[in-house]
Amino acid sequence: MAKKRVKVDQGLCIGCGCCAGTYPDDFQIGDSGLAEVVTGEGEEEAVSVCPVGAISVEE
Ligand code: SF4
């Protein structure tokens, strides 16, 4: 599973923590209580763990 550039739309994120809980190397919950991408890259499958569609892959 190759990592791809991913981003979090913080306007959509509800801070549920699913992404950080499932992929702690790729996502963290920041001071704002919303998810941030740790390195700028993440597993493509992380898109499907977000219940509100806030995670997307940058092509
Ligand atoms: S799974 Fe989605 S809504 Fe939940 S913290 Fe991550 S980006 Fe935000």
pLDDT surpasses 90 at 9: yes
Contact criterion met (CB below 8 Å) for 43 and 2:
no
Q: What pLDDT band is residue 45 in, cutting at 50, 70 and 90?
A: very high
Calpha distance 27→32 (Å, rounded):
14
Q: What pLDDT band is residue 14 in, cutting at 50, 70 and 90?
A: very high
Calpha distance 59→51 (Å, rounded):
21
Which atom, in ligand 1's list, is nearest to the CA of 55?
Answer: 7
Token pair of 12 as six digits = 């959509």
Distance (angstroms) between ligand 1 centre and the Cα of 46 equals 10
Calpha distance 32→55 (Å, rounded):
17
pLDDT surpasses 80 at 1: no
For tokens 């809980």, name the residue.
21
Which atom, in ligand 1's list, is nearest to the CA of 16?
Answer: 4
Give per-residue pLDDT as tens, 21-44: 999 999 999 999 999 999 999 999
